[in-house]
């Protein structure tokens, strides 16, 4: 981890819209595990698992819990 998230392409065999904005995938989604919020290089939609608080964190205009 160098302070920036590296975005990668998600490839699954199937992905489908269920209802509204909900989607379904047929495989696990593995998130980055970090002990604190990244301080730079953040973009809206970034998600990671905070190992200190044991919570999923989401970036919009700042970090918040999911």
Residues contacting residue 63 through CB under 8 Å, at least 6 positions apart: 37, 42, 57
For the chain, 66 residues long, give each residue's pLDDT as a single digit of tens: 445 555 555 666 666 666 677 767 777 778 889 999 999 989 888 899 999 999 999 999 999 998
Give the per-residue pLDDT at 31: 86
Give the per-residue pLDDT at 18: 63
Could you give the CA distance from residue 41 to residue 34 in angstroms, rounded to a whole number? 14
Residues contacting residue 32 through CB under 8 Å, at least 6 positions apart: 1, 5, 48, 49
Give the per-residue pLDDT at 1: 43
On whether the pTM is more than 0.75, the answer is no
């Amino acid at each position: 981890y160098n302070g920036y998230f590296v975005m990668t392409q998600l490839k699954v065999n199937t992905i489908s819209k269920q209802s509204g904005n909900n989607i379904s995938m047929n495989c696990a989604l593995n998130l980055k595990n970090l002990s604190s919020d990244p301080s730079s290089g953040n973009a809206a939609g970034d998600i990671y698992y905070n190992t200190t608080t044991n919570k999923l964190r989401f970036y919009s205009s700042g970090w918040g819990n999911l």
